Amino acid sequence: MPDNNSIAIIGYSGHSFVVLDAAKQMGLDVAYYCERNQVSINPFDINYLGDEGSESFNWNVVDQFILGIGDNKIRQRVADLILSKKKKILNVVHPSSIISNYAIIGTGNFIAANVTVNALAKIADNCILNTGCIVEHECIIESGVHIAPGTVLAGNVTVGENSFIGANSVVKQGVKIGSGIIVGAGSVVIKDIPDNEIWVGNPAKKIK
């Protein structure tokens, strides 16, 4: 029978498996997944709820959702849809992560294994802080951002909405990164980046 205390995950492939693993380790009861079609491989043995984007989707089954979507823009769009239905989006925080008591964390975020978020950092909504990344003191991460595995943000870094910082990148203290940015894997960012650009390299330079 439907249980409104249960949780559904949006997305059921790739990134969502990492989110689900962390959710299970938190003790969350993730009973359903939402996808366009029912999948043939079901590693977490959870039930198919349907396509949240379809008109026939039954929003009455559960009231709580977690986001298993890697793409920033799609994740934001789905989060807006869930909230428009007056449903709750939960944070998933891996038990091995270290989160300062003085950090501010919004909703709909995924904080993966071995992540560190230090004092006075602010994480908005629907972000991914992926495996082993470090968000230092007083950083500001705006909504819909993905900080990829192994990335280091030094103190007082700002990352604008829907930006992606590639794996093993380093961002110098005090740097401001705009919205809609892509920083390539392994880059070293030493100066501010305006909106909607792609930067790569050491030191990072604009390529588009």
Catalogue the active-site residues: 137
Amino acid at 96: S
Rg (CA), the chain: 17
Check if the beta carbon of residue 140 is closer than 8 Å to that of residue 159: yes
Reading the block at residue 2, the tokens are 């439907």
Reading the block at residue 168, the tokens are 């093993």
